[in-house]
A and B are shown apart, each in its own frame.
Chain A
Amino acid sequence: METQVLIIGGGATGTALARDLALRGVDCVLVERDDINAGASGRNHGLLHSGARYVSNDHEAAVECRTEGEILKRVAFRSIQDTGGYFVAVAGDDEKYVADFPGHCQRSGIQAKVIDVAEAREREPAISEHAIAVYEVPDASVDPFRLSLESMAQARSLGARLMRRTRVVGFDREGPRIVAVRVLDTVSGAEQRIHAAQVVNAAGAWAREVALLAGAPVEMLYSKGTLLITHGRMAQHVINRLRKPGNADILMPGGTVSVLGTTSLRVDSLEDIHPTVAEVDRIVDEAAPMLPGLRTMRFIRAYAGVRPLLGSPAGSDGRNVSRGFALYDHEDQGLANFATLTGGKLTTCRLMAERAADLVCRRLGVSSPCLTAIEVIPAAPECEWTVPGRAPREWMRAHGLDDPMLCECEMVSGSVVDLLYASLREAGDMPTLTDIGLRSRVGKGACQGAFCAVRTVAHLYQRGDFQARRGLDEITDFFRERWRGQHPVLWGEQLAQAELMEALHCGLFGEELRGADGVEALRSAVSGEGTP
């Protein structure tokens, strides 16, 4: 396979880069080891920062967030809800920080309007009665999946190619040039070489590993962040704690839920990243003074991602390390056609992509300008279904005879699953239940898939999409994956829900017995005459 630019990594940065290059008329291939936004891009708050979070300790990052936030609100408006944000201090918080905040915002050009505490609590009753100061800032919420899916869809409409479940396993070098990148199809096990004039490593937290494979090490730190999803939506605005960035200081509205986080824990390895009970308890404890309702809130899931941070391993928790981004050209390491793009934030993904595309185009001798700040990302029919409420509205409008409701929590019907399946097939993929979950609301409601996963699999068999024992494999994979985020928040109502799920999937279906000798014998053996 040949292309002008090979992009490694299908997160917010990689997909933004594919879009940028495609808009400049540059041919590119994006390889992704798992799926779109499988790393930190899909495991964050979904906050489009106004920049106010960083005004006290990172002026440059604050300004970047402000300008990039304004751009994305224009070009990616479908993925963004302009919720506005509050910064809230409660009794006991650092009063000097509170007093300095408006001045810091002004210096970074961020509008921060003081709001009367009583009025703020009227608009957002979740805020504690012990609040002492509230400022309003232009924070917004962004659906990171929709943003990346739509960016990639636009890139593909312009000729870019996406290869999911494709892992980089090696680089063929001749002197200063990478002449081919060896990639492995993790489903089929087939290996191939991709010949690209330029290679950009946008592998997020995995960028260090990829750079090492290329023989051009970069310094990076890993910071693990854990977040919680509440059962209902607690607030309409983004609610930030008005203090130095710390644990559990942001509550994001997201459709029918709220997302609370995060923690920052330095980790040395990317293996086995999952939320823990201790992290969940810590998040609730730290956020409850600002949002006392959290003490009795039902949580449906937790998730954890790893932020790639710049710098060398010195600081304690990664909070003081720059959230800015870096573009390494690797020329001092003797490489002429490789670049690594890492660090950064969801809010600045477009700018990061622009800088990388500028470098690549200069090397390729392409002079077309960046268009990503001007061109609006077009709608794509297969990218609309992560939005809560979208599927039920469409179903109400067009309810056809053969369009059964598969997910009753989030109202996802068969036609949505069909459309997503077909769009993935068109790209040459073998879609999984997890792929459909990522691109829709299937499995995201209160039942966490206990019922809808079974109905969706039955539907896919009925359409002839699933064969043999694939459905069982898919269901067990799906629940195993979801469970990693579910078990740390299981108490109260959600534990009762999980008990029903286990009663169904283990008690009745016996999924935990698959492959056990006794059950294999029952499955395959024809026993003697009439004996059960």
Chain B
Amino acid sequence: MTQTQTKTWDVAVVGAGMAGMAASLFAAERGLSCIQIGNGGGLLFASGLLDLLAVHPVAARRVWDNPFEALAMIRRDQPDHPLARVDDASMRAAFQSFTSALGDAGMPFAPLGDRNASVLTSLGTPKPTYGVPRTMAAGVDALAGRPPCLLLDFRGLREFSARQIVATIGDTWPGLRMARVEFPGAEATSELYAAHMAVALESGEFRERTLARVRPLLGDARVVGFPAVLGLARSAVVHAAFEEGLGVPVFEIPTMPTSVPGLRLNAALEQAVVTRGVHRMLRVDVASTSFDETAVLTLDGVPGGQRVSARTVVLATGRFSGRGLSAGQQGVTETLLGLPVQQPASRDAWHSRDFLDPAGHAINRAGLATDDDFRPLDATGRPAWPGLYAVGSILAGQDWMREKCGSGLALGTARVAVDRIARQLRAPSGVGEAG
């Protein structure tokens, strides 16, 4: 028998990736009752860095030092880009409340300003980004100032070679050195897993044994870099202990997914939304939907089935790997509601033949078209339902991977949509008046 919850939520957010988390968080902060429905795993590929916007136009590979100047250029050049619909104040507010919530949940970020930061990746490339976890912040200063610096790695952590980073960028950083140490207790194994190391380093004893191996290697180093394994839930404590134990600033370098900072981000966001009263239903799929006065979502994966009713719905289901979009041989469809997807005319035009084509692949700009409030349009070009919003990477007209705007897209669009929802729900006669 199908259970129907008697409650009608202000907002039902579908999706548990960056955009879904941001929308849930912002809705809760606005005092809206919010249920979040997701099938999980959406954040595991995150690096922990929060990109706002760094490259525009992508074909010219122009890298911006000030993300807000880049935003202004997007508004001028591509008025249909989702970021063109996010004003500076909303974007700043979105990053401020997002990072402050993360800080409360144990993942503090470096102060945000008007400038992008440059972070060294494990490939030795400098990555422009905006929000930098505090555990990585000393690396931004180190890359900018290039003081004598020691990079450490651990035998067995296969995707991270300090020697590779030094070889790749050492020509412009004479004081950069590397050393490899054995991870305590792992002398008899050939593979280490970042998450296991991170948990081990939360133990004071492990930390002390590790630091004892690192101290003799310090030399003239004024800053020390490690792969991002310095603690999982208690990374702030582990990071502080490393800085104190070594007597110099310490930074983490982001690693390949599934990365420890990605796991931290996921855990911190879960804690942030739950403590703010968001009701979460995970590992369930929405089987069907109906829209009338309110939206009714029928869930799959709940014994007996369950119906959720909500005044507004935020679609944050992501793209292909998030399952919000589905690509068949004949074209791209939107999986939950069958909304029209803006896309190239044929599959032949989906991809450039050059993987690294600066202009990007046309398929990455496919997605949902919306009005200025982020309400997805139906086939007639009108909002599909007055209370339905779409946010994050499912939106058409952006290329977050090349524009380096993944978090800007998720947070900025979620912020604007939630603001519109709050206004809509305050209007006396409900959803009908909001358009």
- Residues in B with CB closer than 8 Å to A475 are 123
> Which residues on B sit within 8 Å (CB–CB) of A462?
161, 163-164, 180
Residues of chain B within 8 A (CB-CB) of A506 are 356, 401-402
Query: Is B63's beta carbon under 8 Å from chain A?
Result: yes
Residues from chain A with a CB closer than 8 A to the CB of B191 are: 404-405
Q: Given contacts A405-B191, A406-B158, are A472 and B356 in contact (CB under 8 A)?
A: no
Q: In this assembly, does B350 line the interface, its C-beta being within 8 Å of a C-beta of chain A?
A: yes
Question: What are 14 of the A-B contact pairs (CB < 8 Å)?
Answer: A403-B190, A458-B160, A462-B164, A466-B167, A472-B168, A479-B356, A491-B347, A499-B319, A502-B401, A507-B404, A510-B125, A512-B61, A513-B125, A532-B116
**0/1 interface trace, chain B 13-47, chain A, CB 8 Å (1 if under):** 00000000000000000000000000000000101
Residue of B nearest to A481 (CB): B355
Q: Which residues between 101 and 130 of chain B lie within 8 Å of chain A, taking CB atoms?
A: 115-118, 121-128
CA distance A483 to B122 in the complex (A): 23
Contact of A512 among B128, B144, B356 (CB under 8 A): B356
Q: Is the pair B144, A517 in contact by a Cβ cutoff of 8 Å? A: no
| A522 and B123 form a contact (CB under 8 A) | no
B267 to chain A, nearest CB (A): 20
Which positions 136-160 of chain B face chain A at CB distance < 8 Å?
A: 140-141, 143-146, 156, 158-160
Q: Is the CB of B347 within 8 A of A471?
A: no
- B contact residues vs A (CB 8 Å cutoff): 45, 47, 51, 55, 61-65, 115-118, 121-128, 140-141, 143-146, 156, 158-161, 163-164, 167-169, 171-172, 180, 188-191, 254, 256-257, 319-321, 323, 326-329, 346-348, 350-358, 361, 363-364, 400-402, 404, 406
Report Cα–Cα, A497/B319, bound state, in Å.
12
Given contacts A500-B45, A507-B406, contact A458 B320 (CB under 8 A): no
Contact status A527-B190, CB under 8 Å: no
Which of B116, B347, B357 counts the most A-chain CB atoms under 10 A from its CB? B347
The segment from A85-93, A276-284, A346-354, A380-388 found at the interface with B is: A276-284
User: Which 7 A-B pairs have CB atoms at the shortest separation, nearest pair first?
Assistant: A518-B63, A483-B355, A516-B61, A461-B164, A458-B161, A487-B351, A522-B126
Contacts A451-B256, A496-B321 aside, 15 further interface pairs with beta carbons under 8 A come to A281-B329, A454-B122, A471-B123, A472-B125, A472-B168, A476-B356, A483-B355, A499-B321, A507-B400, A509-B127, A510-B128, A518-B55, A518-B65, A523-B172, A530-B145
- Collect the chain A residues with CB atoms within 8 Å of residue B145's CB: 526-527, 529-530
CB of A369 closer than 8 Å to a CB of B: no
Are A527 and B401 touching (Cβ within 8 A)? no
Query: Across the interface, do A471 and B55 meet the contact criterion of CB distance under 8 Å?
Result: no
Given contacts A476-B356, A502-B401, is CB(A466)–CB(B156) below 8 Å?
Answer: no
Given known pairs A466-B164, A480-B354, A527-B145, the reply for A513 and B55 (CB within 8 Å) is yes
Cβ–Cβ < 8 Å partners of A401 in chain B: 188-190
Bound form: Cα–Cα A261–B329 in Å: 18
Residues of chain B contacted by A523 (CB below 8 angstroms): 125-126, 169, 172
Bound-state CA distance A517–B64 (Å) is 11
Closest to A276 in B: B348
A531 adjacent to B158 (CB under 8 Å):
no
Would B256 and A454 count as touching, CB distance under 8 A? yes
Given contacts A404-B190, A500-B45, contact A530 B141 (CB under 8 A): yes
Contacts of A482 in B (CB 8 A): 355
B347 proximity list for chain A (CB < 8 A): 277, 281, 491
